[in-house]
Structure 1
Amino acid sequence: MQMLRNIMVGMIAFTLLAATCAQAHDMWLEKRGDKVFLLYGHPGDTDPYPLSRITSMTGITENQWNISLEPLEHKGEAFADLGDDFVMLAVEFDNKYWYNTDEDGWRNFNAPTEIRSTIIEEGRSYKLSKEILAWRPFLAEPVGQRAEIVPLKDPTKLKQGDKLPVMLFYEGKPMPADGARVSTTSDMNIEHPELAELKKSEAIEVTVGPPGRQIIIGKYEKKLDETRRVWFAFSLTFTTQ
């Protein structure tokens, strides 16, 4: 009986772990009046997070000038005051170092550390996001984030059901297809949108959701060797009428 109970507990723990990994948190920006807020979690379900992990918040002007924004914290949310006119906002977030072991599952540390159990996967994790406030032609090109989604035309003019072609870029070049995925809808009402694997380093079409705020989510896993990885989670948000 005790052995059966242990097996059942192990199965429940594995199921919870699998669900946690499958529903990894995303990050996006949301402008509210003269402030921009950084949200962490899923549309409609966000969580607090360490402010210290934000490595940069930037406003981009229509002259392509980058202005550093100071992240502040209020009731578990990070925000920045907007003291200028921007066409895009961007943020980068260091999600530190992760280990997936046969004994403890996924654990997060500030830096690589000694692990005694067998390591299945390990690596650095980064999160990045961009928010389009006003469309300008240069936004159809990378703006300098290490991993980013680039719309190939003005997404703010599209209607529900329209197709938006986007490209994924890594370090300013088309992202390798191996390990790259992107959501095929920008519908923010879908909490966990399906992510399609890239077949080639080419544009992919995203179906626009109902009028209002839209989000496109991307993932990229760069394999360094059999166990070491670098993970990127990145998003693009904009608003349609």
Structure 2
Amino acid sequence: MMKKTVLAMVLVMAFASICSAHDMWLENKGRKAFLMYGHPGATDPYPLSRITAMTGISENNWKTSLEPVYNKGGAFAWLDDDYTMLTVEFDNRYWYHTEEAGWENFDLPRQVCGRVIDEGRSYKLSKTIIKWTHGMDKPIGQRAEIVPLKDPTKLKEGDSLPVMMYFEGMPMPAAGARISVSSDRNIEHPELVSLKESKPVNVKIGPAGRQVIIGKYEKRIDDIRRVWYAFSLSFRTGK
């Protein structure tokens, strides 16, 4: 009985970590691109089935579907061609927040017991720049994305990178949008500031190496329903 109880507690904790407000970013290492889920320095496992698309983009803007491979509770994709950018889309399913049960996560909308405070769909998206090429200062077609307005790979620690947030190819509405003001991946929970206008925002570059910029957007449908988007941009800088 004790073993069953401990196992149940572990499963509950694992499920809770999967469903909490985690971030997601890509890290390319050699011939592999790993999808990281959690927070810098504290990543967690996730179901492979939630990855709906992984894509490699060439210098000519040609898009190739990549196959995610299970790896120790996460996933990676083989980089079998010369890509300048990688993207991923992740379905975080449907959420309900009730007075009685708190937050619950389901594959699809359903009837739930109790009074619903919030409900809605959750999506996560990410892209990483491997090599800066012409056109990367424009949106690439992700539903929610962060676009650098100049080559971020040439910047040094302390420099400012102007970025734009886009939703469905247009400047993102300010209401409900937030972005991290630093790309320092050593900060586990970076400060997010609310977008005041649909204009560029300056992000401070962290120490040399992997940089991660986090964005959030809550699109309200009505007083209760909304759609949540969590998205990121990553790249590397030199010393």
Same fold (TM > 0.5): yes
- 1:128-150 CA-to-partner distances (Å, cap 9, x unmatched) read 00000000121100111000000
The residue correspondences of 1:46-65 to structure 2 (distance < 5 A) are 46-65=43-62
Q: Which residue of 2 aligns with 1:222?
A: 219
Structure 2 residue 105 is matched with structure 1 residue 108: yes
How far off is 1:74 after superposition?
A: 1.7
Q: Which residue of 2 aligns with 1:17?
A: none
How far off is 1:116 after superposition?
A: 1.9
TM-score when normalising by structure 1: 0.90
State, as a whole percentage, how many aligned pairs show the same letter.
65
Q: Distance in 2 between matches of 1:157 and 1:74?
A: 32
Q: Which residue of 2 aligns with 1:75?
A: 72
Q: Distance in 2 between matches of 1:136 and 1:104?
A: 48
Q: Which residue of 2 aligns with 1:85?
A: 82
Q: Which residue of 2 aligns with 1:212?
A: 209
Give the AA of the match of 2:167: Y
Instruction: Please give the secondary structure, in 2, of the residue aligned with 1:40.
Output: strand
Q: Distance in 2 between matches of 1:136 and 1:106?
A: 42
How far off is 1:172 after superposition?
A: 0.3
- 1:67-118 CA-to-partner distances (Å, cap 9, x unmatched) read 0000110211201101100000000000000001111111100000101201
How many correspondences in the alignment? Answer: 220
Q: Distance in 2 between matches of 1:112 and 1:103?
A: 18
The residue correspondences of 1:94-173 to structure 2 (distance < 5 A) are 94-173=91-170
Give the AA of the match of 1:170: F
Q: Which residue of 2 aligns with 1:176?
A: 173
Contact 2:47 2:74 in 1 (8 A): no
TM-score when normalising by structure 2: 0.91
- Structure 2: where are the runs of 5+ without partners? 1-16
Give the AA of the match of 1:202: K
Q: Distance in 2 between matches of 1:86 and 1:153?
A: 19
Instruction: Please give the secondary structure, in 1, of the residue aligned with 2:49.
Output: helix
Runs of 4+ displaced beyond 6 Å? none
Q: Which residue of 1 aligns with 2:182?
A: 185
Q: Distance in 2 between matches of 1:50 and 1:76?
A: 7
Structure 2 residue 33 is matched with structure 1 residue 36: yes
Contact 2:176 2:218 in 1 (8 A): yes
Instruction: Kindly report the root-mean-square deviation, in angstroms, between the aligned alpha carbons of the 2 structures.
Output: 0.9
Give the AA of the match of 2:67: E
